[in-house]
Structure 1
Amino acid sequence: MASRKSGKPASAKPAQPTAPKYLDAKRGVANWTQATEWLRVRGIEDIECITPDFAGVARGKMMPSSKFTSNTSLSLPSAVFRHTISGEYPEETGDFRYDPLDGDLKLVPDLSTLSVVPWETDPTAQVICDMVTTKGEPVSYTPRNVLKKVVELYTARGWKPVVAPEIEFYLVAQHEDPDYPLKPPRGRSGRTITGGQSYSIAGVNEFDELVDDIYDFSDKQGLEIDTLIHEEGPAQLEINLRHGDPVELADQVFMFKRTIREAALKHGMYATFMAKPMQQYAGSAMHIHQSVVDAKSGKNVFSKADGEPSEAFFHFIGGMQHYVPRALVMMAPYVNSYRRLTPDMACPVNNAWGYDNRTTAFRVPHSEPVARRVENRLPSSDANSYLALAASLACGYLGMVNGLVPSDPAYKTVNEGSVDLPRGLLEALSLLEGEPAFAEMFGQEFINTYVGVKRGEFETFMQVISPWEREFLLLNV
């Protein structure tokens, strides 16, 4: 019925204002004003301000959300990026040096990474931070900045790299004594999982509740899983991520590792990203699919207008073949990593390439021209995602700008016989620091610091007497 005074329907009500879209975002806001509101509507009490160290371990500080949004200055000592995986500080050698004052580096939150921490009982959020000096300049040797530097080199050429990582990992039974070999956990059937489960749906179903938590935790953080499969090893799974910007994908791998570990702990087991956790089974890789598009047109520069592969495509592969062995230590960063890189263990030990040939280091999957890409199958899952992506993209970039020509593609198995890669950590480190082109790509300070830390880790490893030495040397030499 119409109102006699206004002529408008008596039931009409004023329109309710709609909430800004950013308040519904699961991941990322544009500015501090949005961040304050985003935290408020979720009742967030604490914030984890984190950054990846060389190992990809989350370092940082936790604080109340009210302090986070009050323009508080956050700092970490520079020594955080100079200690080994075992928490020790190597001696200064060669060009590896400490800041004599151990001065502060500042954490600068990247608000585009803001998300909840779904496994915490109290309302908690997390944000990935970049590292800058007290003068506000990027710290050149920190992993996220190293990757950004490589991406900027592409940008300067009018290119935009696109990546899609695939991360393998094992689930293992919990135990406290590192002297004993790892064992697979029991699945929902109550039986210990065995090998030979590649692509088995039943193998994945053994861990249904865990997988559900991984999906749930990931969704709440705005992390996008493409597919999840069971790999060849017992309780070995693989998560594939959707393709996108390298820094964003490195962030996602960084967060996925935390997520998967937390989900596994909730179910009474460990998730490990060791390259070779069990000696009789295949290791775990972090395969990286890579393409390059024109920044203006968005077209894949690996394909010509007629759909055939371009010169840039072949030069990218030429760069991978020439430079990846020299940068391998950024993709295989530990002594254990080289246990994975052995013949006849479902892992390439060469620098060959081929079309849909999984025995090569650099595989070109079958695809439409718009999706033409190169898969780097050498990185192991223990690698820091920022450094592995930086190294792989840098090698392809050098091939493109220098016009490197690849070998002929391999049309047969090339994973037998000799190993065409560094066989150990020290050899790989020497190749990294001996390549002049890497100083421009990664920065000399990064190379000096990374090599110093890794040599320190090797010296720590050499202090440990292995079961092999006790078994074969004790009474025979």
Structure 2
Amino acid sequence: MKQTPAAAQSYMEANRLDEVECMIADLPGIARGKAVPATKWERMQKFHLPNSIFFQTITGGWGEAAGDEGFTEPDMVLYPDLSTATAAPWADDGTLQVIHDAFDQKGKPIPYAPRNVLKRVVELYAKEGWTPVVAPEMEFFLVARNVDPAKPIEPMMGRSGRPAAARQAYSMSAVDDYGPVIDDIYEFAEIQGFEIDGITQEGGAGQLEINLRHGDPVKLADEVFFFKRLLREAALKHDCFATFMAKPIEGEPGSAMHVHHSILDSEGDNLFTGPNGGETDAFFQFIGGLQTHLPSVVALMAPYVNSYRRYVRDHAAPINLEWGRDNRTTGLRVPISDPASRRIENRLAGMDCNPYLCIAASLAAGYLGLKQELWADKSYRGDAYDGEPDLPQGLGAALDLFDGNTDMQEVLGPEFTRVYSIVKRAEYEEFLQVISPWEREHLLLNV
């Protein structure tokens, strides 16, 4: 118990521990695992799950990704990371959640487990004497309950009863409109030991943003993974849904997961800032790596067909990889900061991404920029929506770029990239079998 965080210990002191949820994130970022009685968990040092959880599509179908050994579903060995233990404060009985790491039966990390992918990239930085630091921003919608897939998604009605009242970006009244849900978000986060840097109203009806404090990439990815569940549970308490779809509502802006990056050297100083406070070669090389390599990992940051509906000109999401200082129209933004806090914001990822894979991909692109000494284009001045789009226009095109970047495959892991591509292509083929309302409306009698 002493190996668990202080917040988990406080929760266990105040609640009789009844159950422990042993979990791991699959490729979409869904929590998979087992719930076990606390008395059994106290005696457990590991548990097992079949490796096939990583071959499953978002619909419950399967990609043929098992490899030469065939689809035999061998067990993985999962070991708890007790530093991740946190309460499930919405549960009726005392419940802890614990993230596990996946290994094969010979003790080697499972290469396509998302948390292992991120750890692999962080270790590459460590070998250079660098410590990456990230800060994610989470955008999401609170929407009315929707149990009919044929029905359009609608914003949750707040206390005012007017959706337009919740479309005022940065409005405090709009935040107050969803006060009871937000109160539970704060309460759950406090019990779980998560530090929220702020909650703001975004530009969409019922769209909110939560910023997290900067820190270790694996720890922050864990928090986003936990936060998605926290937000869903808080919303359900108030008869609404929290959705992380990249573009859930027609005519409204999409939801992003912007990621801020900086790197500390072996002395703990910002690698992007020189002795006199200026921007270093590493700063421009990191941006150069993002500009060069991010197109090939858009398939990780925009992992679904819906994700590409977010990349719309003049609609609060980037259409290219220009970079600029304090410019929210560019895909890569350098926020206002003092020299010690200099950082680079990647605005590409949608909130529908797996946080482990998104952060791994973004750090991998920056890492390649540093190692290959790539150089950033000239900073963009003005409205970057006036520039040409240079992002893939759909999941199929994104996967083609993903398959073609061998440098990125080596950083993320060849076995991971093989499995991911197979599973996502299987998922894309599933989508292509569905006939949309648009097709029925405009093609049925007109073609």
Distance 1:311 1:84, change over 3 A: same
Q: What root-mean-square deviation, in Å, do the aligned CA atoms of Structure 1 and Structure 2 show?
A: 1.8
Instruction: Give the structure 1 partner of residue 100 of structure 2.
Output: 129
Is the Cα–Cα contact under 8 Å of residues 217 and 259 in structure 1 kept in the other structure? yes
Do the aligned residues in 1 keep the contact of 2:257 with 2:351 (CA within 8 Å)? Answer: yes
Q: Given the alignment, which residue of 387, 401, 418 partners 1:431?
A: 401
Give the match's secondary structure for 1:63: strand
Corresponding residue number in structure 1 for 2:412 = 442
Deviation at 1:42, TM superposition (A): 3.9
Change (3 A) 1:153 1:23: closer
Kept in 2, the 8 Å contact 1:433–1:451? The answer is yes
Structure 1 residues 302 and 382: CA distance shift in structure 2, 3 A? same
Pick from 151, 164, 187 the counterpart of residue 216 of structure 1. 187
Query: Residue 343 of structure 2 aligns with which residue?
Result: 373
Tell whether 2:258 aligns with 1:287: yes
Q: What corresponds to 1:117 in structure 2?
A: 88
Instruction: Please tell me the residue identity of whatever aligns with 1:53.
Output: D
C-alpha distance in 1 between matches for 2:28 and 2:111: 16
Indicate yes or no: 2:209 matched with 1:238: yes
Describe how 1:74-93 pairs up with structure 2 within 5 A: 74-91=47-64
Match of 2:6 in 1: 25
Name the aligned partner's letter for residue 6 of structure 2: A
Alignment correspondent of 2:356? 386
Question: 1:312 is matched with which residue: 282, 291, 312?
Answer: 282
Return the offset for 1:189.
Answer: 2.3
* Alpha-carbon shift at residue 71 of structure 1 (Å): 2.9
What residue identity is the alignment partner of 1:66? Answer: T
Matched position secondary structure for 1:124: strand
* Displacement after TM superposition at 1:73 (Å): 3.6
Q: Structure 2: how far apart are the matches of 1:71 and 1:427?
A: 45
Q: Secondary structure at the match of 1:49?
A: strand
Counterparts of 1:431 and 1:98 in 2: how far apart (Å)?
Answer: 28
Going from structure 1 to structure 2, the CA distance change for 1:156 and 1:27 (only over 3 Å counts) comes to farther
Normalising by structure 2, we get a TM-score of: 0.97
Judge conservation of contact 1:39–1:65 (CA < 8 Å) in 2.
no
**Aligned 1:169-318 pairs, distance under 5 A:** 169-194=140-165, 196-294=167-265, 296-318=266-288
Aligned to 1:362: 332
1:93-172 aligned within 5 A: 99-172=70-143
Counterpart secondary structure, 1:336: helix
- Which structure is larger by alpha-carbon Rg, 1 or 2? 1
Evaluate the alpha carbon distance shift between residue 124 and residue 196 of structure 1 in structure 2; reply closer, same or farther with a 3 A threshold: closer
How far off its partner does 1:439 sit? 2.2
Alignment coverage as a number of residue pairs: 447
Q: CA separation of 1:156/1:418 partners in 2, compared to 1, >3 Å: closer, same or farther?
A: same
Report the equivalent of 1:16: none
CA contact (8 A) 1:97 1:449 kept: no
Q: Distance in 2 between matches of 1:194 and 1:180?
A: 23
Deviation at 1:186, TM superposition (A): 1.1
Structure 2 unaligned blocks of 5 or more: none
Task: Quote the offset at 1:418 in angstroms.
Answer: 3.5
Q: Is the 8 A contact 1:354 1:411 kept in 2?
A: yes
Which of 341, 348, 351 does residue 311 from structure 2 map onto? 341
Shift of 1:72: 4.8
Shift of 1:39: 4.9
The one-character-per-residue Cα deviations of 1:325-359 (angstroms, maximum 9, x if unpaired) are 11111111000000101212111100110101111
Deviation string, structure 1 residues 21-48 (Cα, Å, up to 9, x no partner): 87881048xxxxxxxx985774201000
* 2:154 aligned partner, one-letter code: K
SS of equivalent residue, structure 2 residue 305: coil
Would you say 1:405 and 2:378 are equivalent positions?
no
Match of 2:24 among 45, 51, 63: 51
TM-score (norm 1): 0.91
Tell me the SS of whatever aligns to 2:253: coil
Residue 5 (structure 1) aligns with: none
Superposition deviation, residue 176 in structure 1: 1.3
Structure 2 counterpart of 1:25, one-letter code: A
Shift of residue 81, structure 1, vs aligned partner: 0.4
Given that 1:196 and 1:233 are in contact with CA atoms closer than 8 Å, whether structure 2 keeps it comes out as: yes
Structure 1 unmatched ranges of 5 or more: 1-19, 29-36
Q: Is the 8 A contact 2:365 2:408 kept in 1?
A: no
**Counterpart residue identity of residue 140, structure 1:** P
- The residue number in structure 2 matching 1:8 is none
The corresponding residue for 2:426 is: 456
- Aligned mates of 1:173, 1:204 — CA distance in 2: 16
Measured against aligned partners, the alpha-carbon deviations of 1:402-450 in whole angstroms (never above 9, x if no partner) come to: 1101100001111135321100101111111110112221111100100
User: 2: distance between equivalents of 1:23 and 1:417?
Assistant: 50
Residues 343, 417 of structure 1: 8 Å contact kept:
no
**Displacement of 1:84:** 0.3
